[in-house]
Chains A and B, each alone.
Chain A
Amino acid sequence: GDSVTQMEGPVTLSEEAFLTINCTYTATGYPSLFWYVQYPGEGLQLLLKATKADDKGSNKGFEATYRKETTSFHLEKGSVQVSDSAVYFCALRGKAAGNKLTFGGGTRVLVKP
């Protein structure tokens, strides 16, 4: 079945540092890929998505590129802020899964001033 693996946290960074969160997936066919962010005490919000190979999703300074050859969708941001402290979830929507999303375990990011 479909699965998503992302790096375990917590990831602790200083403000203005470069952030990378690795995400790899297993799925049949060509799934759509998503990054969701969860701020403390809140629900998940869509951060960015990519629906086909080589697509780059971007939002709020974050980027991720759909790499079919390495089955990866790594999240990056060049200069993090304290306000980026949150839990980040990688997810996929398999072609055979209807509307179902499969989530990774989440990566907690803490940005210190």
Chain B
Amino acid sequence: NAGVTQTPKFQVLKTGQSMTLQCAQDMNHNSMYWYRQDPGMGLRLIYYSASEGTTDKGEVPNGYNVSRLNKREFSLRLESAAPSQTSVYFCASIFGQEASYEQYFGPGTRLTVT
């Protein structure tokens, strides 16, 4: 049981390049999320998927697209990278409701856009 996995761990892009961040979970969770983490700002929600086949915008969706490929996988795409997208990106999957609710996070992808 690997939990939530992300690839790659590190990436450097030039402005205007595109790339896809991959996320997979093996816990059979319905909901998956993408966050970005910037110094002093905590985690901000980019996009989420409440279930397979659905996606919704979060707090900071501009410049990103997502695909919920199947129940396990949720990818994040940067079509034309900008320096403002330099950040650490975390994927998470959601388990439970109310008292049993918990988010499980991947190890993160550190992206630098030059």
**A residues near B, CB below 8 A?**
4, 8, 32, 36, 41-46, 49, 51, 89, 91, 93, 98-101, 103-106
Q: A43-B90, A43-B107 are in contact. Are A32 and B42 (CB under 8 A)?
A: no
Q: Give the docked Cα–Cα distance between A46 and B101 (Å).
A: 11
Chain B contacts to A: CB under 8 angstroms:
4, 31, 33, 40-45, 48, 50, 58, 90, 92, 94, 98-99, 101-103, 105-108
Counting chain B CB atoms within 10 Å of each CB, which of A42, A43, A49, A105 scores highest? A43
Pairwise interchain contact B42-A89, C-beta atoms closer than 8 A: yes
Neighbour of B99 across the interface among A44, A46, A51, A89, CB < 8 A: A51
- A32 near B106 with CB under 8 A, answer no
Q: Which residue of A lies closest to B30 (CB)?
A: A99
Q: Are A98 and B4 in contact (CB under 8 A)?
A: no
- CB-based contact B94/A99 at 8 Å: yes
A51-B98, A99-B31, A99-B94 are known contacts. Are A43 and B42 too (CB-CB below 8 A)? no
Given A98-B50, A99-B31, A99-B94; A46-B103 close (CB under 8 Å): yes
Q: Which A residues are in CB contact (< 8 Å) with B42?
A: 4, 89, 91, 103-106
Offer 18 A-B interface pairs, CB within 8 angstroms, sorted by A: A4-B42, A36-B105, A42-B108, A43-B106, A43-B107, A46-B103, A51-B99, A89-B43, A93-B101, A98-B50, A99-B31, A99-B33, A99-B101, A100-B48, A100-B58, A103-B42, A104-B42, A105-B42
